Structure 1
Amino acid sequence: MASNARPVEEKPWHSHLTIDLLVTVAQYTFLHPFVAWMIPLSLRAQLTPYTHTSFRLSVVYAASLTVFYFLSLLSQRIAHGAPRKVIHSEEVIVITGGASGLGLLLAQIYGMQGATVAILDVKRPREGEIKGVTWYECNVGDKSQVASAAQRISEDLGTPTILINNAGIVNGKSFLELTTRDIERNFHVNLLSHFHTIQTFLPGMLEEGRGTIVTVASVLGYLGSAYLSDYTSAKAGLIAMHTSLEAELQQSTNSAAKQIQMILCTPGQLNTALFAGLKTPSAFLAPLVEPVDIAKAISKMIDSGDGGHIALPFYAGWIQWLNVLPAGLQKIIRSLSGVDSAMAHLEKKK
């Protein structure tokens, strides 16, 4: 009998080799303090003298990594304060744009872990995709709808203590092609919705004396991109909003404000329907980010009770250094990366 299954596309072995994989391997091997201390211990096991150059260098190397590790922990504590205790059974989680993509994955993760989860979306999740999760039809770009949904969530589930702002849309048009409706819809969903949800749910977190707010922005908020002027403007606004709100909470005289953890997520190109068909310029330096990887990183930081910055893939965590380079070099790098031509090529294909 003939099979109707589509053949699986075979990729060359090196397609899975990325800079992110190399960095991850390094972090768990020779850049890990514990592993580094194995070197001088092994040398001593071979009766290498304490005065031998190899032993001294290995000790300096291991000690340097250890100091760097503890300084990183200190930096995290200074920047975001002490972690809060997160118990899934006691948390009420609200996820915007939770009917598909990254939002749906996060809803599934916490639904399976016994947390109380509510998703806000204009579309209903497909039957069987989520269990133990409650869907509320809501256009998060409309503050009155957010307020109405919040009241129902409070009555049905309790006071939300974790807010994951994930909803987003893309127009993908040139600057002059954007209509007023396109621009307004973009800012309502990609930027204003965060103001609506935070202003609605933050007071309840302050009353509870605990909370976590996750802002899903984009690396393009730092870079900008041709044919994405409205989208990147909104994402840049989110980064600024996150930074400003975090500073405001830390300086608040309300002690409960200091118990609110803020998490900023600035991923590279996600492998979702939002940018379907968009080809990444370098699979090695700028690989597609799988939603499951971002979901795991977000849930790990939420569960640890910490605040912080999540930037995947590897280059996304260092992209801000591009702005300190000479303007001419910046232009060359942008040209080589394809950040300004990718959307144009996608539009031509359509």
Structure 2
Amino acid sequence: MDRQNSKLGNQTAMVKAYGGALVLVDAVVLLLKILYYIGESIYRFFVPLEEKSVAGEIVLITGAGHGIGRELALRYASLGATVVCWDLNPQGNEETVNEIKKLGGTAAHAYQCDVSNREQVRETAERVKQEVGNVTILVNNAGIMPCHAFLDHTPEEIRKIFDINVLAHFWMLQAFLPSMIDKNHGHIVALSSMAGLLGIANLVPYCASKFAVRGLMESLSEELRCTASGRNMNIKFTTIYPYMVDTGLCKKPKIRFPSIMALVPPQEAAAEIIRAQRRDYTEVSIPSIWLSVNTSLRNLPEKSLIQVKDFFDSGVEAC
């Protein structure tokens, strides 16, 4: 009996030792991979990826009737993509399509849709599939940004912010993601905001909605990666964090250093968004430096971070 117990003890020890060795090997492999990808990231900082072609892709842009959405539509059309413009305002939407056609583009289509209304999204999406084809690049751009102190927001306004800035993303994804999964081809672009990375006074519901967009994109990308069943997933996700863009949404910007923190022109924002999408970047801020700055500052003690915020004194006034 003692000999049997001793044999079992030795076998158990060997199994534990083998398991420990496997964990050690996995840890070494993990470390080597981390070092490799750090090196790759440094290399790509100096030698960016080539921008992939979007010619022949069907690009759907929400909020295409003005601002960033209009600029995105114009630029995608100039690159040979078929552009599908969605907006609640039919006049602005038609103006975008007409401008595309004046510049020589013909593959542009306008659809009126309230993206916060799930049934409207479903019905309009079906029309797009029948009349244009399967959307391969979806840009969730539509959003609103009321600027008030938190207690001055009405319940109806808070609901509207989340309906448009968050829930609309869900309805659009439910409408267009299945065909991308079936074909294993597609790209989702979502506009969050720098206000989706740090809290800003007078924008509490807006900040919360943009934080939600970041969480949605990160978790959905991870879910698809984990369920890819070993195949190479060719559906890409890009989350954009713009600084204040000069589209009229920001009524009373507060900027202490306008020479380095001026409002971003919508043309520049659109160019950066399309560049990020064509290079398959996962996250990009506009200007690009702010994402790295935010990540670095988050490592500071909380009181130090507050002092930095007070020094730059940038944000929005209540209106």
TM-score bin (small chain): 0.7 to 0.9
User: Counterpart of 2:41?
Assistant: 72
Q: Is the 8 A contact 2:138 2:189 kept in 1?
A: yes
1:120 maps onto 2:86 in alignment: yes
Q: Is the 8 A contact 2:252 2:317 kept in 1?
A: no
1:343 maps onto 2:310 in alignment: no
SS in 2 for 1:238: helix
1:174 to 132, 135, 149: 149
SS in 1 for 2:61: strand
Q: Is the 8 A contact 1:249 1:257 kept in 2?
A: no
User: Counterpart of 2:33?
Assistant: none
2:159 to 184, 190, 200: 184
**Deviation per residue, 1:262-282 (Å, 9 max, x gap):** 111101111111114424222
1:129 to 86, 91, 99: 99
Shift in alpha-carbon separation, 1:315–1:302, aligned structure 2, 3 A: closer
SS in 2 for 1:311: strand
The separation in 2 between residues aligned to 1:145 and 1:212, in whole angstroms, is 22
Aligned pairs for 1:186-265 within 5 A: 186-254=161-229, 258-265=233-240
How many residues are paired up? 271
Cα shift at 1:300: 2.1
The separation in 1 between residues aligned to 2:123 and 2:50, in whole angstroms, is 32
The separation in 2 between residues aligned to 1:326 and 1:209, in whole angstroms, is 44
Shift in alpha-carbon separation, 1:159–1:73, aligned structure 2, 3 A: farther
**Deviation per residue, 1:233-263 (Å, 9 max, x gap):** 0001111111111111111135677110111
SS in 1 for 2:84: strand
Shift in alpha-carbon separation, 1:279–1:130, aligned structure 2, 3 A: farther
Q: Over aligned residues, Cα RMSD in angstroms? A: 2.5
Cα shift at 1:285: 3.5
**Partner AA of 2:310 in structure 1:** S
The separation in 2 between residues aligned to 1:120 and 1:135, in whole angstroms, is 6
Q: Is the 8 A contact 1:269 1:275 kept in 2?
A: yes
**Partner AA of 1:309 in structure 2:** E
**Partner AA of 1:329 in structure 2:** S
**Partner AA of 2:71 in structure 1:** L
The separation in 2 between residues aligned to 1:263 and 1:253, in whole angstroms, is 18
The separation in 1 between residues aligned to 2:53 and 2:165, in whole angstroms, is 28
Q: Is the 8 A contact 1:286 1:315 kept in 2?
A: no
User: Counterpart of 1:281?
Assistant: 256
Shift in alpha-carbon separation, 1:94–1:221, aligned structure 2, 3 A: same
The separation in 1 between residues aligned to 2:222 and 2:307, in whole angstroms, is 35
Shift in alpha-carbon separation, 1:243–1:236, aligned structure 2, 3 A: same
User: Counterpart of 1:97?
Assistant: 63
Structure 1: 5+ residue runs without aligned partners?
1-66, 77-81
**Partner AA of 2:117 in structure 1:** D
Q: Is the 8 A contact 2:51 2:278 kept in 1?
A: no
Cα shift at 1:302: 2.7
1:312 maps onto 2:278 in alignment: no
SS in 1 for 2:261: coil
The separation in 2 between residues aligned to 1:326 and 1:300, in whole angstroms, is 34
The share of aligned pairs that are identical, in percent, is: 30
User: Counterpart of 2:15?
Assistant: none
1:88 to 42, 55, 59: 55
User: Counterpart of 1:145?
Assistant: 120
TM-score by length of 2: 0.78
**Deviation per residue, 1:9-36 (Å, 9 max, x gap):** xxxxxxxxxxxxxxxxxxxxxxxxxxxx
The separation in 1 between residues aligned to 2:37 and 2:125, in whole angstroms, is 44
1:303 to 278, 281, 287: 278
User: Counterpart of 1:30?
Assistant: none
